[in-house]
Amino acid sequence: MIRKYIPFLLESLDHEFKSFADCLRDCLDYYQEKMAGPFDGSYSYAARLYRDHLMDPKRDFEIVNAYMTEKGWNLERVEKIARNEGFYNKIYNDTSISKSAPTDYYLYQITNKKFPLQGYEWPVNYDKRWTEGERDELLIKYGYGWHKSKYGKLIIKQNMGSVINFLKETFNSIPDSIIYQLSDHIGLNKEIMRGVNYNDSSPINRFNYSDELKDCFFPEKFDMYIDSVGLLKCFEKTAKFEEKDINYTQKEFDKLVIDTCNSMKLEGRIVTEGDIKIKFN
């Protein structure tokens, strides 16, 4: 008897999902035309600190909920079907639904904080090393102030547990990212700088440049000091193996390091020539 009704139940769920999804998309379209701010742009746009004065997740939830309620989707009805695993899977897999911070936050709330803000889960795995691309993404988010904005802190806590965890992981990525940016500017092999394995017979592989370069960075709580003298010597050594010349005075190289930090939204300053401090907050 139960099997007889399974197709009907699935069909009913499909209908409910389509009706709900269409209503939520209509809500987004309506407010994108009516008001700027939170509905204007993607989640990552809303998470940027310079737009935070326009954002209020609780207010935005009430705006979305009021629209949905008026169209027949009050919270009682929504939360009832949201408990259905099939319904959640459909929401998660429908990429056309996750289009703004307010609608993402609405889905996050009705699914008991299960729906991933921004529409996907971050590849967080503390048992393994983050890929360089993933670390770069953390620095980009840091540069835009996600750790200080309302929507930014929400998604950080959902994916990483706390803002402190986010800052720790981002802080650890600073040496690699600075080395990569400097290598690119100077015109050296960026992959070797990042410790990519090459044929052992290659003379350049006799030195572990990735570790040698990172030894020039000294973390201290949430500040970091850079031995710019040692860093320049490492780059000069690498340039010789690549049969290239780099001609920087220490003063010129210090300025290049500071400019690189600034481009990454990091607050760097020269303490004394060859000695640089990065403030991380």
Question: What would the pLDDT profile of 205-217 be if each residue is shown by its tens digit?
Answer: 444 566 788 899 9
Q: Give the model's pLDDT for residue 190.
A: 63
Per-residue pLDDT reduced to its tens digit, 116-131: 999 888 876 654 455 6
Q: Give the model's pLDDT for residue 3.
A: 44
| Distance from C-alpha of 244 to C-alpha of 234, rounded to nearest angstrom | 13
- 12: which 2 tokens? 């009913």
Per-residue pLDDT reduced to its tens digit, 31-70: 988 876 788 888 999 999 999 999 999 999 999 999 999 9
> In which residue are the tokens 């410790």 written?
195
Task: Please report, as a single letter, which amino acid is at residue 189.
Answer: N
| Distance from C-alpha of 36 to C-alpha of 41, rounded to nearest angstrom | 9
| Distance from C-alpha of 158 to C-alpha of 160, rounded to nearest angstrom | 6
DSSP letters spanning the chain? -HHHHHHHHHHHHHHHHHHHHHHHHHHHHHHHHH--STTSS-HHHHTSGGGGGG--HHHHHHHHHHHHHHTT--HHHHHHHHT-HHHHHHHHH-TTT--SHHHHHHHHHHTTT-SPGGGS-----TTSPPPHHHHHHHHHHHHTTTTTSHHHHHHHHHHHSSHHHHHHHHHHHHHHHHHHHHHHHHT--HHHHTT----TTSGGGGS-HHHHHHTTEEEETTEEEEEHHHHHHHHHHHHHHTT------HHHHHHHHHHHHHHTT-EEEEEETTEEEEE--
- pLDDT band for 104, please (50, 70, 90 cuts): very high
Q: Residue 143 pLDDT more than 70?
A: yes
